[in-house]
Structure 1
Amino acid sequence: MLVYTRSRSMTIIICRGSQVLLPDSDSLQPATIIIEGDSGKIVEVHRRLLSDELLPSHVQLIDAGPNVILPGLVDAHVHLNEPGRTDWEGFYTGTKAAASGGVTTVVDMPLNSIPPTVSVGNLSVKRASAHGQCFTDVAFWGGVIPGNQSHLKALVEAGVKGFKCFLIESGVDEFPCVDEEDLNEAMSSLQNEPTTLLFHAELDNTPPSKNEESDPTSYSTFLHSRPDAFEINAISLITRLQTKYPNLPCHIVHLSSSKALPLIRDAKAAGLKLSVETCFHYLCLSAENIPRGQTIAKCCPPIREARNRELLWDALKDGTIDFVVSDHSPCTTELKKIDEGDVMGAWGGISTLGLGLSLLWTEGSQRGISLAQIIDWTSVKTAKHAGLSERKGKLQTGYDADLVIWDPDAEFAVTQESLNFKNKVSPYVGLKLRGRVEKTFIRGSIVYDRISGFDGLNPSGELLLI
């Protein structure tokens, strides 16, 4: 009997493979996924490999062969910077890079674009800039800065997925940090809205300490300038405020310090609505291996020691840390001060789009991590965090047919030429990684092919504001 025998006038796309990661399964299994071409939705999932004679005639067939079929990744922390700083990154180049790494949805941060996404008018400017340029779907975070509290509810209604704020200077003048008074106003306004408040959780209220290392080219100088205490201070403030506004979910972006984990565990045990992310670079790099003058590894908060990295892995495995994102935070090559080796003066941000899945698989498989765990951290939970869990993150009936053809055994060297983001500067250049994206599809349509790249492909991503 033929599968999917509804209206034969509809376009039908069949995706099948012998190794498919389906929801609520830790193991790969044969499966055939039926996609309605007009809507791009998954309409049936058969947990077996259907032969050609069981398929409708005149269908588009995607056969993964021996490769793995995964749900597309949802990267919930990306800086695309357009408009205003498009020379740093833009929707066109940033989403191309994302698609090349199996990311099918990105959630754009409210900075470092000009204007920042702190009002509905500014959101409209950003949407207009993104229109027709995106190879992935794009959702948007709003921002909380001093004095914009009256704009927050309107931004929720306009479709932003939540709000980000800084407890320390952000690095750009148009997105200043907030203090406790600002937070009380913002949290009071948002506490009964269907939204989340995200925190860059570094707070410098510690007494100044003598820093014996003052060489600006030394990574240890930078590391000492952003101590673990900054993250502990910030998370202490956040959890204290949460007891006052218990209905408002709060989220810690890019956790780097394992010393803050006891605070997080206590908050979760107390029932506070707190979630936490970390980043690929905190799980894959260590301070001991960053040589003098390597400015491309600078980010805020900083990459810490190898022992700290292992404790972050442990916290990810036990659920204290909820998921992993890129925090793709690019800039122009000049701002990285590579020639000067000035770590203290360089822009703090790491470019990662396109590499995250391979990075986690390379490092995670050495620690007994399964592919199912990685997808849970980079797709299932990130989709839920961004309010997209009813359409993204799973190969399931009713969901968008966002999927990735993945070769888990392929090895490749990261080169500048292989990077698809605008400014090809990354600490991962020269590394040998395991696991490679062969093809990426959004709603059943191909948006990246490793062999041909983006030749003949046009941006087909949507802006997600509902």
Structure 2
Amino acid sequence: MITAPMDLAVHAERAVVDGRDTPATVTVHAGVITAVEPYGTPVAAAEVVHLGPDVVLLPGLVDTHVHVNEPGHADWEGFASATLAAAAGGVTTLVDMPVDSVPATVDVPALQAKRAAAHGRCHIDVAFWAGVTPANTAELAALHAAGVTGFKCFLADAGAPDLPPLSPAELVTAMRALRDLDATLLVHAESDAELAAGPAPRGRSYAAFLGSRPPRVEDTAVAAVLDAARQTGARAHIVHLSSAGALPHIAAARRDGVRVTAETCPHYLTLTAEQIPDGATEFACCPPIRDSANRDLLWAALADGTIDMIVSDHSPCAAELKHRDTGDFGAAWGGISSLQLALPAVWTHARTRGHTLAQIAHWMSEQPARLAGLTGKGRIAPGYDADLCAFAPEETWTVDPGHLHHRQPLTPYAGHRLHGVVRRTWTRGHGVDPARPAGRLLTRTAKHPEPAP
């Protein structure tokens, strides 16, 4: 029996610990996991929770690709709504993207404005990426010293005038600066030149929209990132990888010692171009959702470690910017709203492919935490923050957008039947109380080790 008084003890018939689904008793004091004991170990604790065989105790998810949009676009999303939605989806830590807020997070005053907007409003822990532009190289060291988890850039125009894209030469310059800081550069890898050479998206046809962003748009940009990382020795991370055509090049670069990681997103793993009706602009995102054969290759790349992690790329907007009235993909905002839905959406498809909840925890918790240098996150282990998720993997439910916590409910998952219900979420050993935001604003706690294979 553990005799020292604990704040929380969770007796779980199933828990994901060290990559295994195993019975365990997890004890918590002062927000930190103190021990992982054999299941049923007697514990004196202020709160004792018993989870049956239908529930699995997971480490809280870490979502490193979330567009909260506040300050500046709090009608699209905001820290209060985003973090409540995240908690409902089993996410206990998110990292906010520097774009789609006003100002973009490209200098320390903008970071301070972002932190001020988030202060006292977060239901889970929140950290921040910063942006790289052609003009802010001199700001990078100060942002790094201020504790951002890393940096993000675009290689194509994202419609954000305060975060313009980098040219190939500017990408190399940025990587050299970030190599000297031992910081990671996240790259939206779509080629401006390839986009300019192709047809502009317009009209209701999803096939035409897909044709405006063919795989070579991503593949060319990924090749440029790999070349810059090889030249500089910097650490690069490919965000929201959609094109399976880039996978052999990423794998080859790694074999050559290039420091590169990659993520994909739930919508690329669960949705396919074949199922998207014309005019259904809730599916619009950049890069786009591709065909089922491409989806199969992304799953295979997760299994073999070429893709390191799954994160949401939650990117909502005001409802009118999706242009559902006209269904014009050329005019619609490119972004998927999925923060609350990522875990059950991914699990619904992973389970049919023979993947386990231990793999899900690796891809959606441990690896993103490592990418962001958040050393106390992502595992159920002594010394880690007691960020936990009680997940019922066999329970099914139908997505009703009206019941989601996202500020903007429009989602391509509406009406989908999903496996997996988040029964309860704990952040640092405490249940999430919608009336009392208790999340912390985080700074980077470690250098950025490459995610483990």
TM exceeding 0.5:
yes
Mapped to 2, the partners of 1:16 and 1:315 lie a distance apart of: 35
Q: Does 1:411 align with 2:396?
A: yes
> Whose Rg is larger?
1
In the alignment, which residue of structure 2 is the partner of 1:460?
A: 438
Q: TM-score, normalised by structure 1?
A: 0.92
Equivalent in 197, 209, 212 of residue 222 of structure 1: 209
Residue pairs, 1:114-129, within 5 angstroms: 114-129=102-117
Residues 24-53 of structure 1: per-residue CA shift (max 9 Å, x gap)? 32xx222111100xx200111102222xxx
- How far 1:215 moved relative to its partner? 5.8
Question: Quick one: which amino acid aligns to residue 377 of structure 2?
Answer: K
Matches within 5 A, 1:37-56: 39-50=30-41, 54-56=42-44
Query: CA separation of 1:206/1:33 partners in 2, compared to 1, >3 Å: closer, same or farther?
Result: closer
Number of matched pairs = 443
Aligned partners of 2:19 and 2:362 also within 8 Å? no
Letter matched to residue 7 of structure 2: I
Note the C-alpha offset of 1:380: 0.7
1:61 corresponds, among 43, 48, 51, to: 48
Taking the aligned partners of 2:257 and 2:115, their CA distance within structure 1 comes to 36
Q: How far apart are 1:102 and its partner, in Å? A: 0.1
Amino acid at match of 2:220: N
1:148 to 114, 136, 160: 136
- Shift of residue 182 of structure 1? 2.0
Compute the displacement of 1:236 (Å): 1.2
- Written as runs of structure 1 = structure 2, the 5 A alignment for 1:214-363 is 216-246=203-233, 248-363=234-349
| 8 Å contact kept, 1:139–1:161 | yes
- Deviation, 1:68, is 1.3
Query: Which of 376, 386, 389 is residue 401 of structure 1 equivalent to?
Result: 386
Aligned to 1:391: 376
Q: Which amino acid aligns with 2:10?
A: C
C-alpha separation in 2, matches of 1:349 and 1:338: 14
Shift in Å at residue 55 of structure 1?
A: 2.2
For 2:141 and 2:392, locate their aligned partners in 1 and report how far apart those are by CA, in whole Å.
44
Is contact 1:21-1:69 (8 Å) kept?
Answer: yes
What amino acid is aligned across from residue 447 of structure 1 in structure 2? V
Report % sequence identity. 45
Compute the displacement of 1:372 (Å): 0.6
Q: 1:32 aligns with which of 25, 29, 33?
A: 25
Within 5 Å, give how 1:363-442 maps onto structure 2: 363-388=349-374, 390-442=375-427
Between the aligned partners of 2:201 and 2:162, the Cα distance in structure 1 is: 29
Query: Deviation per CA, 1:378-427, whole angstroms, max 9, x where unpaired?
Result: 00101101101x20011100000000111111100000122110010000
Q: In structure 1, what residue type is equivalent to 2:60?
A: G
Equivalent residue in structure 2 for 1:134, among 102, 118, 122? 122
Q: Provide the residue aligned with 1:443 in structure 2.
A: 428
Per the TM alignment, residue 239 of structure 1 is displaced from its structure 2 partner at its CA by: 1.2
Moved more, 168-177 or 150-159: 168-177
- Residue 214 of structure 1: how far off its partner (Å): 7.4
SS of 1:153's partner is helix
Counterpart for residue 187 of structure 1: 175
Instruction: Please give the per-residue CA displacement for 1:161-200, whole angstroms capped at 9, x wherever unaligned.
Output: 1100000001222211111232233222221213100100
1:12 corresponds to which letter in structure 2?
D
Q: Given residue 349 of structure 2, which amino acid in structure 1 is its aligned partner?
A: E
Q: CA deviation at 1:65?
A: 2.7
Q: Contact conserved, 2:104 with 2:131, CA < 8 A, in 1?
A: yes
Query: What is the identity, as a one-letter code, of the residue corresponding to 1:183?
Result: L
1:107-164 CA-to-partner distances (Å, cap 9, x unmatched) read 0000110001110111000000000000110010010011100000111110001100
CA shift, 1:204, in A, is 3.1
Whether the 8 Å CA contact 1:205–1:233 is kept in 2: the answer is: no
Q: Is the 8 A contact 1:29 1:47 kept in 2?
A: no
Cα distance in 2 for partners of 1:167, 1:207 equals: 11
User: What amino acid is the match of 1:42?
Assistant: I
Gaps of 5+ in 2: 445-453
Within 1, Cα distance between the matches of 2:201 and 2:360? 39
Are the structure 2 counterparts of residues 30 and 115 from structure 1 closer, same or farther at C-alpha, using a change threshold of 3 Å? same
Instruction: Name the counterpart of 1:451.
Output: none
TM norm structure 2: 0.95
Residue 64 of structure 1 aligns with an amino acid whose one-letter code is: L
Give me the whole-angstrom Cα distance separating, in 1, the residues matched to 2:340 and 2:40: 30
Cα distance 1:210–1:329, how it changes in 2: closer, same or farther (>3 A)? closer
Query: How has the CA–CA distance of structure 1 residues 31 and 368 changed in structure 2, closer, same or farther, with 3 Å as cutoff?
Result: same
Tell me the C-alpha RMSD between the 2 structures.
1.5
| Secondary structure at the counterpart of residue 306 of structure 2 | coil
1:205 is displaced (CA, Å) by 2.3
Residue 260 (structure 1) shift = 1.0
Residue 70 of structure 1 is matched in structure 2 by: 58
My pick for the range that moved more, 93-102 or 172-181, is: 172-181
Aligned partners of 1:351 and 1:426 also within 8 Å: yes
Whichever residue aligns with residue 408 of structure 2, its letter is N
Partners of 1:205 and 1:94 lie apart in 2 by: 34
User: Which string of whole-angstrom CA distances, capped at 9 and with x for unpartnered residues, describes residues 402-455 of structure 1?
Assistant: 00111111100000122110010000000000010000000110016xxxxx4x
1:205 equivalent to 2:198? Answer no
